[in-house]
Amino acid sequence: MGEYRRTISRRITLKRLGKSVGFACLVLCASLPLAYASEQSESLFHKAIEAHWKWNLEEAINLYEKVLKQDPYHARAFFQRGVAYRTLGKVDLALADFTQALNVQPDLVDALFGRGLIYARQNAFDKAIADMNGVLAREPSRRDALKTRAKLLLAVGKVDESIADLDKLLSIAPSLSDAYFMRAEAYLKKGDNRKALDDLSAGLKLNPRNAQALIKRANILLATGDKKSAIQDYTKALALEPDNVEALENRGKAYTMLQNWDAAEKDFTRALEVKPDLRLALLNRAEARYRSGKYDEALKDYDQLKNLGKVDAELLFRRAQLLLALKRCQEALPDLDRVLELDPNNLSARELRGEAHAALQQFDKAIGDFDAVLAKKPTETKYLLARAAAHEALNHYTKALKDFERAVQTAPGAASAEMYYRLGRSYLLNLKFPQAVDAFTKAIDKDPRLGLAYANRGVAYKALKDYDKAQRDFKEAMKFLDTQERKEAVL
């Protein structure tokens, strides 16, 4: 460079061609002749630059070649030809020219920057960072180099160094929205959601129409529990990009968390219209339909998922759950059997299969499943009661009583009137009348309108030959038993 040369710099981008050059724009420069350069080569060089500016790239390349035949050490001609090659997508030729320009003139910063961009595109991150280091050693405040190096450092996991570059860039250019968005990504990698959220918000003040930034902010808000604010951001993003599948799916998830099943279903349906093979959207729509009581439509979604392949335990479990809701227990069993083949420790599947067996009156099999569940969750009230009912159905009254007692003992404060009533019935079946009276009394204390508790306590009093109390209970039961069948049973 020095006193023999002055530089006229211009920035050009490939946006005019509808393409991207990568992290930043390359620089198109024209040089006046060096002291030793011939007037003819410089004249050709200026013609090449003119053709380049007019976007006559092939003509420009031919002229650069003529310059280099006359002056093999013309660094700017190598560089400018490399820019033209890069514009045409001839990356290897561009890389060779940038390198040759640097061999001739090692301090040609534009060539160093251009080569660094190509290395970045080739995922040769170490080489790209080395070139950006060289650029910034000569021009410490160069914005495109700071931004590019920050992105590269982030790609190789040097998050703190990336943030340092972005801090410097924002101190130089505080209105650069992309720098805020990139620093937000760095903070996300550090797990600092608060700072990421602040940077996304700062960037969106400068550029409120950045759909990706809106989606990222919405994702953070959703992850931190602010579902309504997340929905607002997803909605703004979808106003900008109506077919954005990520925004549609994630807004659907947010609606699901708010139990707005109809809105969730609409979002998942729209996502599937855009991209029909979205397995997760189909799975989530099936769940939304299931939750809103649209069982037949949900089942169609699950069947479609099975036809798409990739049948896994989660899909089979959800489908079985739905079939049980439809009281199609026999159809649910093969799905649950397969879930347990894939995942033998899946307690939820074992619980559900136990319920299916019980509904089909396959009580021995139901007990086997409930045994497995209770071995892992010995105080799970629901399955203690379920196993007790199965034992009762098989006339295993002693075993049933043990389960009822355990169910009530595990959470006595939370024991319901129904639980005490069922415990009382079990005492009756085991001919333990005083204990039955006590259990029915506790059931009545919790629900004074529980007619069956009065009726069965009357039975216990009668067995104890306390006929006055028995008669009082039978009369009390008549106040609350609605059906003629139950009244006749008491009489």
Whole-number pLDDT of residue 1: 31
Is the residue at 104 inside a domain? yes
pLDDT value at position 430? 96
481: CATH: 1.25.40.10
CA distance 292 to 295: 8
Q: What is the predicted pLDDT for the residue at 7?
A: 30
Angle at 235 between CA 230 and CA 240, to 5 degrees: 130
Instruction: Note whether residue 483 is domain-resident.
Output: yes
Tallying the residues shown for the chain, one arrives at: 491
CB contact at 8 A, 304 and 278:
no
The answer to the question of residue 93 being in a domain is yes
Can you give the pLDDT at residue 308?
83
The pLDDT, as a whole number, for residue 28 is 40
Residue 83: per-residue pLDDT: 96
**Does the residue 243 lie in any domain?**
no
CA 374 to CA 367: how far, in whole Å?
A: 10
Residues β-bridged to residue 205 = none
Q: Which domain holds residue 12?
A: 1-122
Residue matched to tokens 């990009």 = 241
- CA dihedral over 199, 201, 202, 203, signed as positive or negative: positive
Residue at 81 is within a domain: yes
The residue among 85, 106, 122 that closes a domain is 122
Express each pLDDT in 282-310 by its tens digit. Answer: 999 999 999 999 999 999 999 998 888 77
Q: How far apart are CA 226 and CA 230, in angstroms?
A: 6
Low-confidence residues in the chain, pLDDT < 70: 1-38, 412, 483-491
- Tokens representing 200 are 């996304």
Number of domains in the chain: 2
Residue 268 lies inside a defined structural domain of this protein: no
Domain for residue 155, yes or no? Answer: no
- DSSP letter for 413, please: G
For the stretch 367-393, pLDDT in tens is: 999 999 999 999 999 999 999 999 999
DSSP structure string for 199-224: HHHHHHHH-TT-HHHHHHHHHHHHHT
Euclidean distance between CA atoms 19 and 31, whole angstroms: 27
Kindly tell me the burial class for residue 263, based on how many C-beta atoms sit within 10 Å of its own C-beta (0-12, 13-18, 19 or more): middle
C-alpha span between 265 and 276 (Å, rounded): 14
Query: Which residue, of 63, 96, 122, is where some domain finishes?
Result: 122
151 in a domain, yes or no? no
The sign of the torsion formed by the CA atoms of 470, 474, 475, 479 equals: positive
Q: Classify 7 as helix, strand or coil.
A: strand
> Distance between CA atoms of 207 and 267, rounded to whole angstroms?
26
- Which of 69, 87, 122 corresponds to the end of one domain? 122
**pLDDT in the model for residue 352:** 95
**Predicted structure pTM score:** 0.72
